[in-house]
Structure 1
Amino acid sequence: MTPSETVVLSLPFTGRWLVQNSPASRVPSHGTTLFGSSYAIDFVPVGADGRSAPRTVRSLLGTESPEGFVGFGRSILSPVSGEVVRVHDGEVDHVARRSVGALLGYALTQPSRVRRGAGAVAGNHVAIRCDRGLVLLAHLRAGSVTVRVGDLVVPGDRIGDCGNSGNSTEPHLHLQVSDTLERDARGIPMAFQRSGQQPWMPHDGDIVTV
């Protein structure tokens, strides 16, 4: 990839978000190139203390309700101007998993989700076609998607809420750009706009505040 291929996006949210699985830290960022995810990034909404939810006995030993996380239901915005070409809603927001045991059990079911396709992996999601590729925003809250296929959006338009649907262990946003949404899609590099500064890609562990 060359710098000229990088798609520059607006940040698709407000508030405080913790960066995970950033392509600034490694490529492929999620350990796989499947479904065009080579340059994908995850944003986890957090509070002023940098946590996505308080630590409790359930968080240490079992599963948790997604409603207990500070970012569940936080608005997700379009990061680009373009046409909505795919909308998928109706996947449930399942329990969150932060304990070692819950995460291990979930990891063992990963191959079955990949076999079931986009709904099981991306959960509720929206794809927007821009002039450089398809921008995917995934793991949205069930029933929250506000756009339809064929809608034209601009940066800042609300498209849904942060949720915990699909291949997700706690409420967060998965964002990527790719040439298609198929299993063998090619990931496309992206960067984010900052007022008065050059586009950048945050690293794992950074907290982005908008």
Structure 2
Amino acid sequence: MLWVIGIIAIVIMGCTAPKDDDKQEEVRYYQGESIYLDFPFEHGGRYYIGQGGHQKSQNYHYWNEKYNKLGINVSMRYAVDIHMIGEAGIDREVDEATSLDDFTMYKVTLYSPTDGVIEYVEDGHPDMGPDDRDSENLWGNHIIINVDDVKIVLAHLKYGSIIVEKGQKVKKGDHLAKIGKSGNAVVPHLHIQAAKNDPWNGQPVPMLFDGEFLIKGDIVKVDCAYNELEDK
């Protein structure tokens, strides 16, 4: 459900809140058949959608010149970057991050957003330092879950944290890995996308998290307890 504040919405997972569809109709837009997913993090956290949506101003993945030249931008059209809000704001526990442990999302447990089969696992990429990133390995350590030929990519995972294997069946809520800073990640966060048949070159599939199409600027609260916290 959504609380709309200008073009920013507060999304309450598992709670009931007012929703203003008229204000969000233009910016909260997608085409094609969607896939329904659970939000992949446990209750008690607040998360920020750094990239997500249909428009150029919302989601650089589709409009990125490098991705366009590589021919992988189409599959990323509805990709979402999920960040965590910490003591010092989005991503950080302190104002100046000098180590990965200063980032709120680092080592956070990732849970399966769906029932499916693990189609691919890639590990072995190091977590990059606060000022570094691996532009040659875009997704870094990542998992691909197959759901009726829809490939769900979960990327930028912590080195050595993946506990599932190719061919393994998973259920919603199963522990998969921890969030890291592998690949082309500026800060530790989760990159998640869905595409039909081919994760790199397939047609994009919009993702609905607990029924909501998340866009850039959304704040996701995964527990009703944060309702009171946000009002203080």
Contact 1:84-1:150 within 8 A present in 2 as well: yes
The 5 Å alignment of 1:118-137 reads 120-131=137-148, 133-137=150-154
1:38 aligns to 2:73 (yes or no): no
Where structure 2 has 5 or more consecutive residues not aligned to the other structure, the ranges are 1-29, 223-232
Q: Where does residue 55 of structure 1 map in the other structure?
A: 95
The residue type equivalent to 1:157 in the other structure is D
1:169 aligns to 2:186 (yes or no): yes
Q: Where does residue 20 of structure 2 map in the other structure?
A: none
1:21 aligns with one of 51, 58, 76: 51
1:10 aligns with one of 34, 38, 41: 38
1:143 aligns to 2:160 (yes or no): yes
Deviations 1:36-72, CA, capped at 9 Å, x for gaps: 211100001222553321222xx5xxxx422221221
1:191 Cα shift? 1.1
Aligned counterparts of 1:7 and 1:134: Cα–Cα separation in 2: 11
Partner-residue secondary structure (3-state), 1:121 = coil
Aligned counterparts of 1:28 and 1:95: Cα–Cα separation in 2: 25
Contact 1:24-1:202 within 8 A present in 2 as well: no
Partner-residue secondary structure (3-state), 1:67 = helix
The 5 Å alignment of 1:47-196 reads 47=86, 50-53=89-92, 54-56=94-96, 64-97=98-131, 110=135, 113=136, 120-131=137-148, 133-179=150-196, 180-182=198-200, 184-193=201-210
Aligned counterparts of 1:76 and 1:162: Cα–Cα separation in 2: 7
The residue type equivalent to 2:89 in the other structure is G
1:207 Cα shift? 1.6
Partner-residue secondary structure (3-state), 1:8 = strand
Aligned counterparts of 1:48 and 1:209: Cα–Cα separation in 2: 15
TM-score (normalised: structure 1):
0.77
Partner-residue secondary structure (3-state), 2:89 = coil
Partner-residue secondary structure (3-state), 1:96 = coil
Deviates more, 1:16-25 or 1:169-178: 16-25
1:186 Cα shift? 2.3
Which consecutive segments of 4 or more residues in structure 1 shift more than 2 A? 24-29, 48-51
Of all paired residues, the percent bearing the same amino acid is 30
Contact 2:83-2:105 within 8 A present in 1 as well: yes
Deviations 1:115-145, CA, capped at 9 Å, x for gaps: xxxxx01000000000250111000000000
Contact 2:83-2:90 within 8 A present in 1 as well: no
The residue type equivalent to 2:127 in the other structure is D
CA-based RMSD: 2.2
Aligned counterparts of 2:155 and 2:129: Cα–Cα separation in 1: 17
1:8 Cα shift? 1.0
Aligned counterparts of 1:137 and 1:202: Cα–Cα separation in 2: 16
Contact 1:17-1:208 within 8 A present in 2 as well: yes
Contact 1:89-1:124 within 8 A present in 2 as well: yes
Where structure 1 has 5 or more consecutive residues not aligned to the other structure, the ranges are 114-119, 194-198
Aligned counterparts of 2:54 and 2:87: Cα–Cα separation in 1: 24
TM-score (normalised: structure 2):
0.71
